[in-house]
């Protein structure tokens, strides 16, 4: 399975996030999965790539040409796809992926998650989405999504379009055993 991993590129984050994400990458590769990601060499982007490579896994990096700057990209990608824009980058990552794992990150990671989440809600894809909630990083986001349902801005079934994992093992297991609803549209017939 080609797994797209979203995550931070920051070099200033706590080591606990780096360690858990490197372990995630290693477990993905050990389970026979390939990585599709934004090609970064630092932060959690670099961590997942190093983890994949440590177990001989395959990496496809997708990046806008304007980020082709020394020290930004991970040099160990098996395939590098250059795009003109960030929007093209996300489209290619989406098209080449069978599942998504969201690791902690900033505004770019949130934007990637919400786009793929929205597309699933609109029945544009049926791919698993796993939120890797390292040390409770996404607790407030998950609370916000629940509050959105409470306030009737979103159907409660939207909360079933993703799963939440607290360990690398759980995240990888959820890719194979994903039983979340594949779209809100399908629930009309359930």
pLDDT in tens, 155-174: 999 999 999 999 999 999 99
Helix ranges (H only) for 84-138 are 86-95, 107-121
Question: What pLDDT does 185 receive?
Answer: 58
Q: In terms of DSSP H, where are the helices of the chain? A: 15-30, 43-54, 86-95, 107-121, 139-150, 168-176
- 101 and 4 in contact (C-beta within 8 Å)? yes
Q: What is the mean pLDDT of residues 55-68?
A: 95
CA distance to 20, 80, 181, per residue, from 44 (Å): 9, 18, 28
Which pLDDT belongs to residue 177? Answer: 78
Q: Are 101 and 130 in contact (CB under 8 A)?
A: yes
CB environment 14-30: b (16+ within 10 A), e (fewer): eeebbebbbbbbbbbbe
Residue 190's SS3 state is coil
Q: Quick one: average pLDDT of 55-65?
A: 97
pLDDT at 69: 81
pTM above 0.95? no
Segment 98-113, tens digit of pLDDT? 999 999 999 999 999 9
C-beta separation of 17 from 45 below 8 A: no
- Average of per-residue pLDDT values in the chain: 93
Distance of alpha carbon 182 from alpha carbon 54, whole angstroms: 32
Eight-state DSSP code of residue 73: B
Sign of CA dihedral 114, 168, 61, 36: negative
Structure tokens, 42: 């630092």
Residue 1 has pLDDT above 80, yes or no: yes
Q: Is the pLDDT reported for residue 40 higher than 50? A: yes
The pLDDT value given to residue 53: 98
């Amino acid at each position: 399975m080609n797994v797209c991993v979203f995550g931070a590129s920051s070099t200033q984050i706590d080591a606990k996030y780096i360690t858990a994400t490197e372990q995630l990458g290693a477990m993905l590769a050990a389970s026979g999965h390939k990585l599709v990601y934004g090609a970064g060499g630092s932060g959690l982007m670099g961590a997942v790539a190093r983890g994949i490579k440590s177990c001989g896994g395959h990496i496809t990096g997708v990046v806008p040409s304007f980020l082709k700057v020394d020290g930004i990209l991970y040099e160990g990608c098996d395939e590098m796809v250059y795009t003109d824009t960030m929007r093209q980058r996300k489209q290619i990552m989406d098209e080449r992926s069978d599942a998504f794992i969201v690791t902690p990150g900033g505004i770019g990671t949130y934007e990637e998650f919400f786009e793929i989440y929205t597309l699933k809600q609109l029945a544009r894809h049926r791919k698993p989405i796993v939120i890797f909630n390292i040390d409770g990083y996404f607790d407030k986001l998950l609370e916000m999504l629940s509050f959105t349902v409470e306030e009737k801005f979103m159907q409660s079934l939207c909360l079933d379009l993703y799963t939440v994992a607290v360990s690398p093992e759980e995240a990888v297991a959820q890719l194979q055993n994903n039983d979340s609803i594949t779209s809100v549209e399908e629930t009309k017939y359930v």
